[in-house]
Structure 1
Amino acid sequence: MTRQVSVANLRTMAQRVLDHVHIEDIRLKSLSCDSSDVLLAGPFEVSTGISFRGVPRNRQAVECWIRYIVDATAGQADSDYESSKAWGLQLELIANFERNNSEELLPDFSADELEAFAFALGVMHVHPYARETVQSATSRLGYPPFTLDTILPPTAHPDDEVIDLESAEDT
């Protein structure tokens, strides 16, 4: 489900979670690569999709699951998509945020707070690792290394700006 939230509201919801946790580690959960049988010549049109979700773990930690789907087509994609697809990657990374106080359990965060946290902070924490993984994987497929664009933190926008927030279940 896609809904609209203001940047100020996004920041407030994410901050409620951040007040209780700190980043512990980031790991690559899965990576899937595919390419055409024959290396295709560029230029390539690359599309990137990012989905995210915040998951509580037994009131001990919060995990942010971030999925990237990156596909490259040679030149203009024609009606036969598979024949023009050069390469594709799907990767899922998890940012693990542990509780600040080992003596207390985490509060019960709402689904909106966890989603805002994953969007505002989870994506920003894993994106450098996703960039490196995509660059390395594309070169190992035999193609020129592709580097994902940098992204602007969603909380860097003006407070009254409205952002579309799409839950991971919809993607």
Structure 2
Amino acid sequence: MENISQIINSMTEYYAGDPRRINHFIKVHEFAKTIGELEGLDAHTLFTLEAAAVVHDIGIKLSEQKYGSSAGNYQELEGPPIAKKMLTELCIDAQVVERVCYLVGHHHTYGNIDGLDYRILVEADFLVNIYEENLSAAQAKMICNKYFKTKTGITLLNRMYPDN
């Protein structure tokens, strides 16, 4: 069953009682979907990106339990096995699951972004994090200059933070 709504449903169950985490992944998903569509991703890559956007922070819960921290390195370590289990139970194609787990395991690693799906996931997560962390326009500009490469991602950031 390859349905983003089913993945969202599973993630809301996984993060039941944590509206902040649920709101975060919903917003990242919507930005990723929008950027992916406007950048012309094919249907398979777009589905993979959307699935990754929904589950990208799935490792936070276990990271906080095990390490007392939601640091990116812990998320990248703990997230892929949980994502694999969830997506496999939802009958998501094994090739999609493999790529999603890779993206979950690297979404805080910015040095070797190896695909447009990865690039867009990073940009979508930054768009939400800049707002949620109440970063300044100067910080948003620095992030944009350093990490944003898609025309759509740059446009969205500049529209959200026109003073940068």
TM-score by length of structure 1 reads 0.27
- Comparing both structures, which one devotes a greater share of its residues to helix? 2
> Which has the larger strand fraction?
1
TM-score (ref. length: structure 2): 0.28
Structure with larger Rg? 1
